Amino acid sequence: MTVQEYRRASAEALLSGMRDDLARGLVPMRVFGDRDIYDLELRRIFARSWVFIGHETELPNPGDFAVRTIGEDPFIFVRDSGGTIRVLFNSCRHRGVTVCRAEMGNARHFTCPYHGWTYRNNGELEGVPARREAYRELDFSKWGLIAAPHVANYHGLIFANLDPDAVPFEQHMGSYGWYMDIQFLLTKGGMEVVGEPHRWVVDSNWKQGAENFCGDSSHTHMAHRSTMDIGLAGTAAVGAPGKRVGIHVHDCDGHAISIRIAPQNAECFFGYPPDIVDLFAPDRLSREQFDFARRSLIHDGTLFPNFSYLHFGLTDSLDRAPAGFLTIRVWQPRGPDRTEIWSWILAPKEAPAEYKRRAYRVGMSSFSPSGSFEQDDVAVWPGISRTGGSIFGEMIGLKANYQMGLGPMGDSVPTTDWPGPGRAMPSNAGECGLRTFHTTWLNQMTRGTIR
């Protein structure tokens, strides 16, 4: 057996035994830093899952485009001349050269810089040099840019799936849409992207951020302590976990969400000021959903595999009132110990321009490369990947403890009168959402193989 074959067999053996580990609240550290596990993820998760590409408001005009990735594969996110949004593999059909080399812009055509093959912005092949002399019988209809097999538009959010046999996006999201709708349907016009996405690279595994947004409430009072000490965030929003300060919803068709909610008679609406709340449209949500939004301080969740969101009210200055904003992000895999984070700020489409600018400043001051919250997280995550990729950790079969709130470890039981889907724990002193994430991950990693 070659070294490569041994490593592959070892990775498969880890996966085969991981279900018993998860039942006991354990996760092998190797999944956070192992190259063979990562290579399997690219094939079994990112090549088969619904992955977020961008928001339709990023492409307001025909011809607008931006380059994006699914896993590590390059794609063109484009609104063609007819107004249709497409996701095209960014590879010339002649020699495979990258066709679109600009980060974003507007174009009617994409021309390969190597041999000049030219494509319309809908992907159709339009021109080939020396066509009459050398390509007289070339069937142009068969040599256009290749599109992602499936593209879905959910309230302006564009997702794509590379698996020809993928389930519909609505089935992938399942009942978790109850929570997603709350984030994106507060007004008649919904939410729109403000500014361009911020991007930065951290030395950690992509799953660190994805699982964190599933409900890692126990890190906030430690990693984010400084934000409370200086008054940027209150204990109700980021304080220590426990009963009556938060809710964790897990086992929601493979997805999870963490919530901090105010008492029954309070009105919070994620920190939006009254003039913005006046724009909200209760008829776009159910009565239970709108009442839930009314009492919400913060929502953060992950739609598997790597799309996360956070709805929150913060301030960019101690002498100014908080402003509500919605941030969405993608944890782009760039290696077993490397992640490129993409982060967008959104605001209600009907909000005044000045409020949108404020929401952008508040969002970027807290969750961006230099944000007060973001710097705390990315300072500690790299240590996890280093441990996950360590030789000693592999030798001893090192496992991480995800037992917080599991069975007799905790003192709460699921809420029986919860209005939404999933299992709701009336305490955020637990890691049920993180265990849900890794269970979904394991199901994807073991349901079949793309060799």
Q: Is the pLDDT of residue 439 over 60?
A: yes
CA distance 381 to 387: 10
If one counts every other C-beta atom within 10 angstroms of the C-beta of residue 409, the result is: 12
Burial 205-238 (b: 16+ CB within 10 A, else e): bbbbbbbbbbbbbbebeebbeebbeeebbeeebb
The set of residues, in sequence order, having a beta carbon less than 8 Å from that of 196 and lying 6+ positions away, is 104
Amino acid 320: pLDDT = 85
| Mean model confidence pLDDT for the chain | 92
Spell out the residues 6+ positions from residue 227 whose beta carbon is closer than 8 angstroms to its own: 233, 238, 372, 373, 376
Given this model, what pLDDT does residue 180 score? 98
Task: Give the integer Cα–Cα distance in Å for 13 and 9.
Answer: 6
* Mean pLDDT value of segment 313-342: 91
Phi (first) and psi of residue 186, to 5 degrees: -70, -30
Residue 450: predicted pLDDT? 35
More confident call, 49 vs 414: 49
This prediction's pTM: 0.94
Query: Is 374 a residue whose pLDDT tops 80?
Result: no
Element (H, E) at 293: helix 287-294
Q: What is the pLDDT of residues 31-84, one digit of tens each?
A: 999 999 999 999 999 999 999 999 999 999 999 999 999 999 999 999 999 999
Q: Which domains does the chain have, with CATH numbers?
A: 55-161 (2.102.10.10), 174-446 (3.90.380.10)
- The predicted-structure confidence for 185-221, as pLDDT tens digits, reads as follows 999 999 999 998 999 999 999 999 999 999 887 766 6
**What per-residue confidence (pLDDT) applies to 228?**
61
Q: What is the pLDDT of residue 92?
A: 98
